[in-house]
């Protein structure tokens, strides 16, 4: 007999859908609802049962899970006229896997508590093509401990590990600051690729170089292909990234954290959000710097090894690499290695400087992120664990005790910028200016 808890899942988009598949694979009964019924067709074909409203989906469910884009979507689906809370019973658990304003979550939890409903925020680490698709995500769970205990098995069926971090608010804090690591690397790496192309470094060669260096992180390793093929990664929308960075700055203001690099990054995403269609792909932040420099970062003939790239029919080989921490990533086919090239020593030296600067920024934004977590009441040991399971491997995060930022790294990139006055590198320029002032002030 199936004694697994009955699940209601509201939100069958790019993040929700793979989690529903995992639950179905594990034998759970899953009822689903989405504003757009066509989004649920594939999970229904796999065994999920469609309901006509959040309220109907929530009836007789032990656990109701929401995974929705924006805060107002969450309010509507939970507390609207046909909201899920209306259909839930005392003792059931609501789990929100969205990235949202935690005050919004607390408000809904307060209403739900009047019916005896337990509430959890459980934002999801990682991007779908590296995490959810391979059950490699972690969940940062804040809220009712009893609810966590009751639903931990279901959470771990959708992912690999769950962290209980305390009260509502702490889970969203972890999600926002780990996302910030990704967004900062995205902005920085895009501008470094502009320097590389302008200097004559073959971009495909640089990708292999950075993956074997201390500058490597989730963005350089896994997102670069979506830049090379011009797809900009359809697994997430620009609207989501603009929302996340704005929420992070708001949280920093609330917690009295300066967040200098984070604010530079938020400014760039806000600008991209104003210029492009918010429902288009999130790596359009790279297109912004391409257009500002009148160049593109394409590699002729290159297609990202993912269905979220230029070839939506791409089938990834069912081969994975597991590291010492148990994190899983797809194994790249051998033909994705760059062609052998003999580069001039000066270009190799430049590539090393770009890698060193990438590592420098990864370290500095990690410290800013830690300050957000500490000011929300999280301890250092837990912060390191959740970072390790956030956006995939980062050399700096994995070797934090061995890395120290050095002023010459900034000076080298500053000299490169000075020697190339026609390049537009707004984020790099501001990061260098801020950090050189710190060194010069002895802070």
Report how many helices (DSSP H) and strands (DSSP E) the chain contains, helices first.
19, 10
DSSP 8-state class, residue 339: P
The pTM (predicted TM-score) of the whole model is 0.87
Please report the beta strands in 323-418, taking only residues with DSSP state E, as ranges in sequence order. Answer: 328-330
Please report the beta strands in 157-229, taking only residues with DSSP state E, as ranges in sequence order. Answer: 161-166
> How many Cβ atoms are within 10 Å of 115's Cβ, its own excluded?
13
The angle at the Cα of 65, spanning 245 to 107, to the nearest 5 degrees, equals 60
Residue 225 phi, psi (nearest 5): -60, -30
CATH code matching the domain that covers 7-168, chosen among 3.40.50.720, 3.90.1150.10, 3.40.50.300, 3.10.180.10: 3.40.50.720
* pLDDT interval class at 67 (50, 70, 90): very high
Residue 68 phi, psi (nearest 5): -130, 155
For residue 129, is pLDDT > 60?
A: no
**Calpha distance 103→249 (Å, rounded):** 15
* pLDDT interval class at 343 (50, 70, 90): very high
Q: What is the mean pLDDT of residues 55-62?
A: 97
> Can you give the pLDDT at residue 134?
57
> Can you give the pLDDT at residue 1?
40
Copy the structure tokens of residue 37. Answer: 């019924």
> Can you give the pLDDT at residue 376?
93
- Taking only the tens place, the pLDDT of each residue in 274-301 is 999 999 999 999 999 999 999 999 999 9
- Taking only the tens place, the pLDDT of each residue in 302-320 is 999 988 899 999 987 778 8
**CATH T-level assignment (fold) for domain 173-440:** 1.10.1040
Copy the structure tokens of residue 84. Answer: 């899920």
Copy the structure tokens of residue 60. Answer: 């007789």
**Calpha distance 209→159 (Å, rounded):** 31
Which H or E element spans position 336?
none
> For the chain, what are the domain ranges?
7-168, 173-440
Beta bridge partners of 320: 330
Q: Nearest-CA neighbor of 282 among 331, 333, 245, 319?
A: 245
Contact in structure between 210 and 278 (CB atoms under 8 Å): no
Copy the structure tokens of residue 150. Answer: 């009751």
Residue 392 vs residue 423, higher pLDDT: 423
């Amino acid at each position: 007999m199936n004694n697994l808890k009955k699940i209601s899942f509201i939100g069958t988009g790019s993040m929700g859908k793979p989690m529903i598949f995992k639950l179905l694979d594990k034998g759970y009964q899953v009822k689903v609802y989405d504003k757009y019924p066509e989004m649920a067709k594939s999970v229904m074909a796999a065994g999920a049962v469609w309901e006509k409203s959040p309220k109907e989906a929530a009836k007789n469910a032990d656990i109701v899970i929401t995974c929705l884009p924006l805060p107002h979507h969450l309010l509507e689906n939970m507390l609207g006229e046909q909201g899920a809370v209306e259909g839930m019973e005392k003792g059931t658990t609501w789990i929100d896997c969205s990235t949202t304003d935690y005050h919004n979550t607390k408000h809904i939890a307060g209403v739900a508590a009047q019916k005896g409903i337990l509430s959890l925020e459980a934002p999801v680490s990682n991007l779908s093509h590296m995490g959810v698709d391979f059950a490699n995500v972690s969940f940062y769970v804040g809220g009712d401990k009893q609810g966590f205990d009751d639903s931990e098995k279901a959470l771990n069926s959708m992912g690999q590990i769950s962290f209980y971090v305390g009260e509502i608010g702490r889970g969203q804090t972890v999600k926002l600051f780990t996302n910030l690591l990704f967004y900062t690397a995205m902005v920085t790496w895009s501008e470094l690729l502009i320097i590389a192309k302008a200097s004559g470094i073959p971009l495909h060669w640089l990708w292999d170089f950075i993956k074997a260096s201390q500058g490597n992180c989730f963005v350089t390793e896994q997102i670069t292909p979506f830049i090379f093929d011009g797809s900009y990664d359809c697994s997430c929308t620009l609207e989501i990234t603009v929302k996340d960075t704005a929420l992070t700055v708001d949280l920093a203001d609330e917690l009295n954290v300066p967040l200098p690099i984070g604010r530079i990054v938020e400014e760039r995403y806000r600008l991209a959000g104003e210029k492009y269609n918010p429902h288009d792909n999130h790596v359009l932040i790279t297109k912004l710097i391409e257009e500002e420099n009148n160049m593109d970062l394409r590699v002729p003939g290159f297609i990202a090894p993912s269905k979220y790239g230029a070839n939506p029919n791409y089938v990834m080989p069912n081969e994975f690499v597991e590291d010492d921490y148990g994190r899983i990533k797809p194994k790249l086919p051998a033909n994705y290695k760059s062609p052998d090239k003999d580069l001039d020593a000066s270009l190799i030296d430049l590539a090393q400087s770009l890698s060193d600067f990438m590592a420098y920024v990864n370290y500095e934004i990690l410290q800013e992120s830690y300050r957000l977590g500490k000011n929300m009441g999280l301890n250092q040991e837990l912060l390191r664990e959740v970072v390790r399971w956030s956006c995939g491997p980062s050399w700096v995060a994995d070797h934090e005790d061995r890395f120290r930022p050095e002023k010459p790294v900034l000076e080298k990139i500053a000299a490169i910028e000075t020697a190339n006055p026609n390049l537009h590198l707004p984020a790099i320029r501001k990061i260098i200016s801020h950090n050189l002032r710190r060194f010069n002030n002895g802070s």
